[in-house]
Structure 1
Amino acid sequence: MSLSLPDLYFRIKENGASVFRVVTDTRQNRMDLVQIANANVRNGEIRPQGGETPTAEEEAEIRAWIETRRADLAARHLQDIDRTIDFLNLSTQWAQSKATEDDLEAVSDRLLLAMHDLRTVIVRKKADRLMKERDDG
């Protein structure tokens, strides 16, 4: 363990994190985590927990963590989309060169529906952007 611990520890949850104050007792070489808040990434809410209230400095650190986490999640989402494109290409190659009739029968309907749904949304969004550009320009 490093000698320099952070003041706060963030236990990631689906919609944010449980936030703990890192408390060290150097006399007994002990460390405790005291929950002080729950941070919600979606709405930016910070709710005190465990009878503790974050200090102004801790709240600022939590808010900075929320912004960083939002940016990380947005970047990760774009990476997931890039991987999806790769998977679609690999699936095309698989369907063309390796899939058996039974393999194709097992996945074709679900795959066609998912691709149709995706295509419909993308085309509609693209048309909306083009119409907005035309109206604004």
Structure 2
Amino acid sequence: MSVELPDFYFRVRENGAFVFRVDTENRQRRIDMTQIAVVNIRNGDIKPHGDHRLSREETEIIRDWMAERRDVLARREIDDIFRAIDHLNLTTHWVQSRASVEDLDEVTDSLLLAMHDLRSALVRKKADALIKARDPQADG
């Protein structure tokens, strides 16, 4: 376990984070965390908390964290898609080997609609990419 704590803590929330300055240099040797900002990953907003004025260093650290966080979320999103592929394969195996008629009655329509919707979106995106590859000036 690390002895030294970071200078900043980011409490992640759905669309960003609350940013805290971490302080251990006090008489009680306690960990004090003071909120200094609220971050929105989607639109890039960094809003100081209360009367706090963000320094250039704080802003730079927050922007670096935001870039890293976007990368993490993008990797997770792709990983989730690969997990979905695995789930589709497991579902196929379940349908062929263990599903009862009642089980299939319960899930078939929802699965077929979701798969149709996914297939339509994939085919449309693939066609757009092929058209754009042939003619880079084409709208897409």
Higher alpha-carbon deviation: 122-131 or 40-49: 40-49
**Aligned twin of 1:102:** 102
TM-superposed deviation, 1:121: 0.3
Counterpart Cα distance in 1 of 2:83 and 2:102: 26
1:131: which partner in 2? 131
Is 1:22–2:22 an aligned residue pair?
yes
| Structure 1 outlier segments of 4+, above 6 Å | none
Distance 2:50 2:93 in 1: 54
Q: How much has 1:24 moved relative to structure 2?
A: 1.9
CA distance in 1, matches of 2:72, 2:40: 15
Shift of 1:28: 1.2
Distance 2:3 2:27 in 1: 14
Judge conservation of contact 1:37–1:46 (CA < 8 Å) in 2: yes
Work out which structure has the larger RCO, using CA pairs closer than 8 Å and 6 or more positions apart in sequence. Answer: 1
- Please tell me whether the aligned partners of residues 16 and 41 of structure 1 are also in contact (alpha carbons under 8 angstroms): yes
The within-5 A match list for 1:1-137 is: 2-136=2-136
Number of residue pairs the alignment of both structures matches: 137
Provide the C-alpha distance between the structure 2 equivalents of 1:12 and 1:51, rounded to a whole number of angstroms: 22
Deviations 1:30-81 (A, max 9, x none): 1111111011111111001132122111110000000000000000000000
Corresponding letter in the other structure for 1:70? R
Q: Name the amino acid aligned to 2:27.
A: R
Following superposition, the deviation at residue 3 of structure 1 comes to 2.7
Alpha-carbon offset, residue 13 of structure 1:
0.3
Structure-1-length-normalised TM-score: 0.95
